[in-house]
Amino acid sequence: MKLEELALEHESSFLNMVADFMEQDPSWFAKLFKRKAAWSELEFRRYVKECEKQRLDWKPGPNKTSVTHYVLPDHNRDLIGYAILRFPLDEVTESDGGNLFVAVPPKFRKQGNGPFTLSLMLFEAVRAGLRRALVTAPAEDLIARKVIEKNRGELLDVAPSKDTDAKGVKIARYWINFR
């Protein structure tokens, strides 16, 4: 299995993943995939175009952040992981979000897919030229924190979220250094 940049070929499996989040984990669905229009084939194509515009090459330039969206298909082409690579960090992503983000659809959780997806993302971060990656998780989300720690994450601190929609939420920030 290998990470793939999100593309039109992932349409049906992506829409299945979004439906899984919507049904089984509505809070993460709202954070990750909530759109003005309902998800459909057309909406997926719009989303892919938005994602393509966010990817600014390996050197995004001053005051710009490159964002690349990845999926991890299994042997059946079901998406068992969704991930984002951001760099360089800005004021917001330095406290909430970090360089790497990983989400596992509810039906594929507790199978080792989170740590595996994050480990693959570390290779993408190295390819992007990063010497270390910042990864964050809600402080109370012990499963997400364990995923980061399994990938050599070193706790930097736990601080209040700067996200205006997440008042009172504390964020655990981890650095993962590349050797």
Inform me whether the pLDDT recorded for 164 exceeds 70. no
Residue 159's beta-bridge partner residues?
171
Q: What is the pTM of this model?
A: 0.92
Residue-wise pLDDT for 45-103, tens only, equals: 999 999 999 998 777 778 888 999 999 999 999 999 999 999 998 887 888 888 999 99
- Read off the pLDDT band of 166 (50, 70, 90): low
Residue-wise pLDDT for 105-163, tens only, equals: 999 999 999 999 999 999 999 998 899 999 999 999 999 999 999 999 999 999 888 77
Domain 4-131 in CATH 1.20.1440.60? The answer is: no
Which H, E and C letters describe the chain, residue by residue? CCCEECCHHHHHHHHHHHHHHHHHCHHHHHHHCCCCCCCCHHHHHHHHHHHHHHCCCCCCCCCCCEEEEEEEECCCCCEEEEEEEEECCCHHHHHCCECEEEECCHHHCCCCHHHHHHHHHHHHHHHCCCCEEEEEEECCCHHHHHHHHHCCCEEEEEEECCCCCCCCCEEEEEEEECC
